[in-house]
Amino acid sequence: MTSADSQPADEVLYEVSDHVATITLNAPGRLNTISGLMLDQLTERLLQADRDRDVRCIVLTGAGKVFCAGLDMAAQMGASKGSLGGMDNGGEGIPGELDLRATPPTVLHNLDTPTICALNGGAAGYGLDVALGCDIRVASSNAKLNPGFAKRGILPESGGTWLLPRMVGYAKAAEIAFTGRTLTAAESLELGLVNHVVEPEHFQDAVRELAGEIAANAPLAVRAIKRMMRAAETETFDQNVHHVFLQLLPLLRTDDFREGVAAYMEKRTPKFTGR
């Protein structure tokens, strides 16, 4: 472990080891439901990890047996900052200006650092949207995904309506969202909502192995790949190819590029520095 920054009172824990930042939702007593304080801390930790040159992969997980059971509605009702994804009522009980730029789903979507959601247990509502916002999802075999917004009289307010159709196609996304039916880990794997399903006794090792494999690669190249994949969602093919070429030019001047070529020619494992 190279650093640790967490205290018992924190609702979001943070630690870095072997170039991997692990961010943990830390309210197991309430099933990691998200309060206004947790929203703020999660945003801060995500940005902290993205700015840290030593971090090459981010793992987001939950303490206890559940990843995140959604918003902590009791706490949200009394919150004036960060409540319900960015609505600030100014302390007067009247909804004010809606600012979503610093909320976790928006921040998560715009990170350059690769993200893995380690679904140690169930994800519902806001927690599901946050999980879908990560680049990769690894689920414990006992995890369940609960898109039950329609059953609560609301809609996926944190990216779900944008993310879900892109992952599974419109028709399947419509069925999942309109019915609010809970999905098992196996069903989620079949639909492509999670990348891997692992038995609980092997779950942590599988997450660490995947994160380590990503962190072992050239970090500047990985970040550039992620930026271009995200850009491709709104670009034409020709636009993206041109954009990728502009990203390639500075990479050709890096120490990591020279190390990658040398390691390949010398048939050895490369040692990347992020420079």
Instruction: Quote the pTM value.
Output: 0.87
Please, what is the Cα angle at 67 between 65 and 69, to 5 degrees? 100
Using only C-alpha atoms, the chain has a radius of gyration, in whole angstroms, of 19
Position 76 scores a pLDDT of 53
Percent of the chain scoring above 70 in pLDDT: 87
Domain edges within the chain? 3-215, 219-265
Residue written as token pair 């559940």: 66
What value does the mean pLDDT of the chain take? 87
pLDDT tens digits along 222-251? 999 999 999 999 999 999 999 999 999 999
- On the CB side of 183, how many CA atoms lie within 13 Å of its CA? 28
Asked if residues 86 and 100 have their Cβ atoms less than 8 Å apart, the reply is yes
pLDDT tens digits along 182-226? 999 999 999 999 999 999 999 999 999 999 999 999 999 999 999
**Nearest residue to 200 via CA among 145, 138, 144, 140:** 140
CATH code of 3-215, in short, is: 3.90.226.10
Q: How confident is the model at residue 114 (pLDDT cuts 50, 70, 90)?
A: very high
pLDDT tens digits along 47-94? 999 999 999 999 999 999 999 998 876 655 554 444 444 444 344 444
Q: How far is CA 19 from the centre of its chain?
A: 17
pLDDT tens digits along 126-138? 999 999 999 999 9
